[in-house]
Structure 1
Amino acid sequence: MQTKTLKIIPLGGLGEFGMNCLAIRWEDDILVIDAGLMFPETELLGVDVVVPDISYLVENKAHVRGILLTHGHEDHIGGLPWVLQELKVPVYGTEFTLAYVEGKLEEHKMLDEIDLIEIQPKKKFTIGPFTIEPIRVTHSLVDCVALAIDTPVGVIIHTGDFKIDLSPPDGKPFDLHTFAEYGKRGVLALLQDSTNVERHGYTPSEWAVKPRLDELFSRTQKKLFFSCFSSSIYRIRIALELARTHGRKVAVIGRSMNESTEIAQDLGYLDIPPGLIINPGQLRDFPPEKLMLLISGTQGEPMSALSRAAVDTHKHAKIEPGDTVILSSRIIPGNEKSIFRVIDHLYRRDANVICDDGSSGLIHVSGHGSREEMRLLINLVRPEYFIPVHGDYRYLRQHAQVAEETGAIGGAIVIEDGDVLEVNQQQARKNGKVTAGRVLIDSGSTIDVVEDLVIKDRRTLSEDGIVLAVLALNKKSGLVERLPEVVMRGFGGSDITEPAREVVMRCLDSLSPEEKADYGVVKEKVRVELKRFIQKSTGRRPMIMPVVMEI
């Protein structure tokens, strides 16, 4: 009778959306699946990203054999630079995923320190007691895989993010056959993506957006701005094909969009005909009706290309009356205000703005499977134990209920970050907890572990102080009514208040009237300029809080 157990330990992503990270342990060997991040809530002042607390992995670093990546989205790979500071272990991923990882590690000057090992669907490899087979799945990103891991007590399958698309634009469909083969052989546990459990039916194929987009391309009389997630290679491919069909030249605008299209082209996921892409500096050489701008910034990020174009401060992307802007993406919860603010600015420019309102054809489809796809996969795999992953607790609970309703599983178990689930062929049970939680990261700082925001605020105030920049702006004219007040507390040494006021004034003077009317942009630009000036002058990184007063 098998008495040893396999331990499944989620460290992120079960109880929240984002920062997906899960450990699998057999005796003295640990595999890690994904190392993602999440973006902070608005109340986390000064925090740029949030990554999982990997104290458990650090305590057991001698036993960690590698990190397996399912795909290249930020919520699955974004935490790697911080995780790899603590764990110098090999990273396994598909070709496209590793191309994204290389860029991240190069940015953090870590590329030479880490072994990146390419994996391919249907090609098994072994790490310690584990034999892993990547299985092709479809998602909103290309080159995504599920992981079938053969352990001493049985096979567990982690789906990663998926939807079942049998005719994706790259011609590499979801591999239902391999999932079915594993189902025939017997699967101990299935860990399945819960993201869309509240959606009934099936998620449409990526091709479903093409008819509506084709119609929009055909009726657009002037310039066409097309914005989607820079990682949505399928969507970019469809947009480029339509641009070519409708006789439009394409300019790629925005750093992330440029990087993604270059990687996709290099790896053969985009076949761009010669002459289709033009340099942004050539936009003036073509009539508006012959142009499409593929532009990043679909979530209304303050400094993104689309946000700057919306307030007419982008060097190349000029939005003029009658231009059409297509936002081919979903609104990520928490981004509503910034997105609607950008849309407001677009309307001020008399642009035609097309969002995914669902009223007249699809311009965006999800990358996650809906309930019927979840049921289909569960019925194919027929696992002994079902474990929902990815999402808030209510999603995990609903997903467990959906799995139980199929009648194709032995039992469903809901676990959260830090739970230790012990599994073998006889039983599965929760047995204790490990440290799990969030690590708050300030851009440019070393890893800063805090368990409570209040503690972090107190530490920041005690060590580096606080800066209040009080700005008085005329609501109607946008003019600066009086000199800004800069209040500094917790600083020693020379008085830099007056130079700081001059920095704020120069920053305000550089803003356009439309930017001054957008207090979100004003605050962010003032914060960035003050942060740069104070860090250069004093070496301190205080909490900077711009306050705008309407006069």
Structure 2
Amino acid sequence: MSSERLIYLPLGGAGEVGMNAYVYGYGKPGKEKLILVDLGVTFPDMDGTPGVDLILPDISWLEARKDDLEAVFITHAHEDHVGAVAHYYDRLGAPIHARAFTANIARRKMEEHGHSEKAVKTASAWPETVKAGPFSVGFVPISHSIPESSGLVIDSPGGRIVHSGDFKIDENPIVGEPFDHDLWASLAEPGVKALVCDSTNVFSHHDGRSESTVGQPITDLVQASKGMFVCTTFASNVARVKTLAEAGKRAGRSVCLLGRAMRRMIEAAVETGVLKDFPATVSPEEASNIPRENLMLIVTGSQGERRAASAQLANGKYNGMVLKEGDTFLFSSKTIPGNERGVIHIINKFSEMGVDVVEGDDRYHVSGHANRPDLDAMHKLIKPQIVVPMHGEHRHLREHVKLAEANRISGVLAVNGMMIDLSGNAPKVAEYVETGRTYVDGSIKIGAMDGIVRDRIRMALNGHVMINVIMDEEDEPLGEPWVEVMGLAETGRSRAPLVDVLEEDLAQFMGRAGAKTLTNDDKLEEGLRRVARQSAQNEIGKRPEVTVVISRLTA
């Protein structure tokens, strides 16, 4: 029996949608040589992560083994797969491999963070491969909602793994390569140990639709609209952006792209040759002089992002553009679970302006992920010994295991931190690794368990009280405590100002306190905090966060 093992370890993306990071290893237990597939981000929300800019996977386990990390492979250029490469390059240092379009996006990110673009290597499509320690990795073209998406063939002495990446079976994707059934079937010929597979749409039982089916309905909608026509989609969905722009042209409208991410994606697609014959566009300055009925805007912000063009237009104006009654706004996208509140807020803002909003209509959007029939077809093409679901919440992974077992294939449910030993004939859990999240908060990274965001939430929920106390050289109060409050009602049950009530109760506490309390900062702070919280509870029904500042004069 071999002393080496083949392992799979998700650090992100298994048990959630987003923040993808999957480790593969081969070697003696604990001494495996490693590769990382994808290194993405997920996005914060005001309820659970207020003020946070981005959420990254916790790579502490991988960083501790960075000398054994041979390479990073990026399947495609969506943020949840490539968004963290530049944030973590200084901590991992391994070369990054991607196909041309994805490499272009990755290099832009590296440049923004002051890293060398040379760390990103451009890979050719299968059958060419990249050697990384005991692994040989090939990029296999697959259809998705962004150009040059790839699944990976990962060969090692422990067997062949096929990592699907995000995919759908689309034979006419408009931009990017069509799904090649014969190519994918050929991958099964040497035998496949495991298919690690996208699970996002496992609950969608109907056949998936091609990107080519949305062009005519969008054209009809644009032609029927009277005022300015504005539409949003994922900036990375270059095929949809092209479809939208062509619909605008066919309707006789000038097309303007608004939003940095939108322009960056189109530029990258043109630079790398994956996007050809994109309709001519006008600048925002030129657009301001074009009659409304002759203008179409394609804007960022399909998920309600506060800083994106859609939200800015909903708030009044963006780049000189203002929406008015009679205009039309199309969401050519699906709202990702968790983003509903932001999208609904924008829809209501537009409604108040008299703008007609089209949202949630399947005629104008198709998913980039495989529905259940596509997943079933992929199982039958690859014929793996094992199916390992990834890219999905726990319910998606569990359902995908059931689908595999219905196809007489062994399935294993592995969530973030669960290391799976793929050696032998049956997968098994090798160990559990601590995983979590890292927050990009302004210009620094903080741990999810550091308490910073927790304190921020507590202050948002409960308000804040600051107590200032001065003690003289004899350890006696110099005057009474004074209080400042934030995020709390000015008056409570007694109808007196809250600050006055707090200061009176705190002064009484100071008057009763003995020498053991007055001479000990810890005891004095604890007592003042307890009194302030109880007093606020009695007055306004809130127990606020309290900061105590004790200043002592010295002789």
Fold shared, TM-score > 0.5 on shorter chain: yes
* SS in structure 2 at match of 1:440: strand
Residue among 129, 141, 144 paired with 2:134: 129
Equivalent residue letter for 2:449: E
1:469/1:487 contact within 8 Å kept:
no
Count of residue correspondences = 468
Asked whether 1:146 is paired with 2:147, we answer: no
1:283/1:316 contact within 8 Å kept:
no
Q: Distance in 2 between matches of 1:318 and 1:468?
A: 35
Instruction: Provide TM-score, normalisation by structure 2.
Output: 0.79
Residue correspondence of structure 1 range 96-135 to structure 2 within 5 A: 96-112=101-117, 115-122=119-126, 123-135=128-140
* SS in structure 2 at match of 1:6: strand
Instruction: Provide TM-score, normalisation by structure 1.
Output: 0.80
1:470-527: CA deviations, max 9, x gaps? 9xxxxxxxxxxxxxxx97789xxxxxx99x9xxxxxxxxxxxxxxxxxxxxxxxxxxx
Structure 1 residue 326: Cα displacement: 0.9
CA separation of 1:469/1:401 partners in 2, compared to 1, >3 Å: closer, same or farther?
Answer: closer
CA separation of 1:48/1:375 partners in 2, compared to 1, >3 Å: closer, same or farther?
Answer: same
Match of 2:51 in 1: 46
Q: Distance in 2 between matches of 1:269 and 1:65?
A: 29
* SS in structure 1 at match of 2:364: coil
Q: Distance in 1 between matches of 2:276 and 2:422?
A: 46
Q: Distance in 2 between matches of 1:239 and 1:314?
A: 20
1:18/1:38 contact within 8 Å kept:
yes
Asked whether 1:186 is paired with 2:191, we answer: yes
1:234-263: CA deviations, max 9, x gaps? 101111111222221111111111211222
Question: 5+ residue gaps in structure 1?
Answer: 471-485, 491-496, 501-551
Match of 2:167 in 1: 162
1:89-116: CA deviations, max 9, x gaps? 100111111121122222211235x611
Match of 1:507 in 2: none
Question: 5+ residue gaps in structure 2?
Answer: 469-482, 487-555
* SS in structure 2 at match of 1:302: coil
Asked whether 1:174 is paired with 2:179, we answer: yes
Of the structure 1 ranges 210-219 and 418-427, higher mean CA displacement relative to structure 2 is found in: 418-427
Q: Distance in 1 between matches of 2:207 and 2:139?
A: 24
Q: Distance in 2 between matches of 1:487 and 1:204?
A: 56
Match of 2:373 in 1: 372
2:151/2:163 contact within 8 Å kept:
yes
Asked whether 1:5 is paired with 2:10, we answer: no
Structure 1 residue 273: Cα displacement: 6.1
* SS in structure 2 at match of 1:285: coil
Please give the root-mean-square deviation of Cα atoms over the aligned residues, in Å. Answer: 2.7
2:86/2:109 contact within 8 Å kept:
yes
Match of 2:301 in 1: 297
Match of 1:17 in 2: 17
Structure 1 residue 155: Cα displacement: 0.4
Equivalent residue letter for 1:117: K
1:319/1:351 contact within 8 Å kept:
yes
1:117-166: CA deviations, max 9, x gaps? 11122122211111111111111111100000111021001001000101
2:142/2:178 contact within 8 Å kept:
yes
Match of 1:524 in 2: none
CA separation of 1:487/1:277 partners in 2, compared to 1, >3 Å: closer, same or farther?
Answer: farther
* SS in structure 2 at match of 1:277: coil
Q: Distance in 2 between matches of 1:40 and 1:449?
A: 14
Structure 1 residue 171: Cα displacement: 5.9
Structure 1 residue 305: Cα displacement: 1.3
1:149/1:156 contact within 8 Å kept:
yes
* SS in structure 1 at match of 2:15: coil
Equivalent residue letter for 2:385: E
Q: Distance in 2 between matches of 1:14 and 1:156?
A: 17
Equivalent residue letter for 2:247: L
Residue correspondence of structure 1 range 273-284 to structure 2 within 5 A: 276-284=280-288
Structure 1 residue 319: Cα displacement: 0.7
Structure 1 residue 291: Cα displacement: 1.1
CA separation of 1:378/1:342 partners in 2, compared to 1, >3 Å: closer, same or farther?
Answer: same
Match of 1:209 in 2: 214
Structure 1 residue 311: Cα displacement: 2.5
Match of 2:438 in 1: 439
2:26/2:158 contact within 8 Å kept:
no
* SS in structure 1 at match of 2:285: helix
CA separation of 1:259/1:488 partners in 2, compared to 1, >3 Å: closer, same or farther?
Answer: farther
Structure 1 residue 370: Cα displacement: 0.5
Asked whether 1:340 is paired with 2:339, we answer: no
2:175/2:238 contact within 8 Å kept:
no
Q: Percent identity?
A: 31
